[in-house]
Chains A and B, each alone.
Chain A
Amino acid sequence: MGSSSRQRAILSEQSRPHLKRYVRLQYDPVRGAWAVLSPERVFWPDEVSLDILKLCDGRHTVFQIVDELAGQYDAAREDIAPDVEQFLQEWSDRFLVTL
């Protein structure tokens, strides 16, 4: 694979994000908390991050994820969309989520 063939994935409303193959969202019974296990790192997502990650199932589009969360939080789409999109772009850039 040449370096030119590799490009940064950019999020769109139509992206259907899912956790990368070797990234696991897993409940840890010892700590009573959800953990994201990934190469070299363990993350402890906060409640909002966890809600987003649980919808990263490869079926929901980013548009639908925002809709779903807007419903859950009783908030306006436009109030939460930027945060959700920024989170997913960042997790894609860190090789945790595939867009």
Chain B
Amino acid sequence: MSDALLPPIGMLAELTHRCPLQCVYCSNPLELLKADKELSTEAWLALFEEAADLGVLQIHLSGGEPTLRPDLEQFVSCLARRGVYTNLITAGVGIAEGRIERLRDAGLDHVQLSIQGAHAPTTEKIGNNRGAHEKKLETARRVVELGLPLTINAPIHRHNIEEVPAFIDLALSLGAERLEIANVQYAGWALLNRNALMPGREAVERQVEIVEEAQSRLRGILAIDFVAPDYFAIYPKACMGGWARDAFMVAPDGTALPCHAAGTIPTLHFERFGDRSLTDIWVNSPAFNAFRGDGWMLEPCRSCERREVDWGGCRCQAMAIAGDAAATDPACIRSPLHSRMAMLIGEANSVSDADDFRYRRIGRA
């Protein structure tokens, strides 16, 4: 490590793996945890207190569907008292009347609502949930009425990439401040469904033009964040801003990981909060230290001038595609395996467009 270890800024708390939707692009692991494995209210509260002590400034309350935890208000109010910024990441389906108001009153700062399609049939197909679209729109209206800032998260793949302009109109009409056009990252259930989800190259190029035009036209009106599709990229993303550099996540059972998909790296062992303190894990966990900084890098990363721009890209993508978590992310044009990305795009687009989805279900990978 070239630099001193700094405290984490952000933490993603996956409070539960339970969810009313079964989205085929979900980034959760294939082995989903049942409710009886989830941390208790007291354990999450202790974890949040320690996260605040450690220096975490922003916590994303996610899942699964975080509103399925009846103790969510307690978590929000604990974090608000500690000055930690809270972001609720919700599917927006099945939220009881008055719940968002109670969360706001507890101190919630921001809501990120996922919408799977700009049109109802797409939303229903991707999440395998009838009526989901209308419920999501109703959630968006409630959030905006309560004066909370709203971000719409649109996960993009083959089945909705043509709906990007309609997503932009939808975000405007709902009064969202921000829209994330987030091309699906192929980890977890999305990797399992990769052939059914991967868009074609022309559609991706069209999407980039549409988004760039809208970003400039809607400057100061709607912020559009674009998460580029890795498989079509020239350079990789700085996944999580660098491995265990300024953010990490906690699974429903308290296991702390540098990113969502880190559990797919078989050589790493991840510790649970409760067995060890969060601070101990952040500082000393061999898994957190495995790819920190740039000391672990091999060529072509080691001598690359971009090594502290993208930190070698995504370790889990290197694992999934190169079969080696320490390899350069194959999304990078300098990776000797970069051509595999084009091959995988071609493979996905040569299979029939049949919706042979494997829906996200607990115990059914």
| Interface 0/1 of A45-79, CB less than 8 Å to B | 00000000000000000000000000000000000
A39: chain B residues at CB < 8 Å are 87, 109-110, 112, 149, 151, 177-178
Residues in B neighbouring A22, C-beta threshold 8 A: 109-110, 148-149
Question: Does B284 make an interface contact (CB < 8 A)?
Answer: no
Question: Which residues of chain B are near A21, meaning CB under 8 Å?
Answer: 147, 149
Residue pair A93, B219 in contact (C-beta under 8 Å):
yes
A42 CA / B172 CA spacing, docked (Å): 24
The residues in A between 25 and 51 inclusive whose CB is less than 8 angstroms from any CB of B are 26, 28, 30-31, 35, 37-40, 42
Interface of chain A, main secondary structure: loop
Q: Mark B220-239, 1 if CB is under 8 A from A, else 0.
A: 11110100000000000000
Minimum CB distance partner of A8 in chain B: B220
- Complex interface residues of chain A between 1 and 29 (CB less than 8 A to chain B): 1-3, 6-9, 20-22, 24, 26, 28
**Chain A: which residue is nearest B220 at the CB level?**
A8
* Least CB separation from A1: chain B residue: B175
Contact of B222 among A6, A30, A92 (CB under 8 A): A6
Q: Is the CB of B112 within 8 A of A31?
A: no
- B169–A3 CB distance below 8 A: yes
Complex-state Cα separation, A28 to B57, whole angstroms: 8
Cβ of B263 within 8 Å of any chain A Cβ, yes or no, is no
Which of B55, B148, B221 contacts A31, CB < 8 Å? B55
Distance from A47 Cβ to chain B, minimum over Cβ atoms (Å): 20
Contacts of B172 in A (CB 8 A): 2-3, 6
Distance, CA A95 to CA B224, complexed state (A): 12
Bound together, the chains give a CA A20 to CA B149 distance in angstroms of: 10
The count of chain B contact residues (Cβ–Cβ below 8 Å) is 32
Residues of A within 8 A of B (CB-CB), count: 25
- Give chain B residues whose Cβ lies under 8 Å from the Cβ of A3: 169, 172-173
Which listed residue, A24, A31, A92, touches B220 by the CB 8 Å rule? Answer: A92
Q: Which of B81-122 contact A (CB under 8 A)?
A: 83, 85, 87, 109-110, 112
- Closest-CB distance, A62 to chain B (whole angstroms): 16
Q: Is the CB of B7 within 8 A of A30?
A: yes
| Chain B residues within 8 Å of A, Cβ to Cβ | 6-7, 9-10, 54-55, 57-58, 83, 85, 87, 109-110, 112, 144, 147-149, 151, 169, 172-175, 177-178, 219-223, 225
A-B pairs, top 5 by smallest CB distance, nearest first, are A8-B220, A30-B55, A3-B172, A39-B110, A93-B220
Give 22 pairs: A residue, B residue, CB < 8 Å, sorted on A.
Answer: A1-B175, A6-B172, A8-B220, A8-B221, A9-B220, A22-B109, A28-B55, A28-B57, A31-B6, A35-B57, A37-B57, A37-B85, A39-B109, A39-B112, A40-B110, A40-B225, A42-B10, A92-B220, A93-B219, A93-B220, A95-B149, A95-B177
Known: A39-B110, A40-B151, A95-B149. 9 other contacts (CB 8 A): A2-B172, A3-B169, A20-B149, A24-B83, A24-B109, A30-B55, A42-B57, A42-B58, A95-B223
A residues in contact (CB < 8 Å) with B: 1-3, 6-9, 20-22, 24, 26, 28, 30-31, 35, 37-40, 42, 92-95
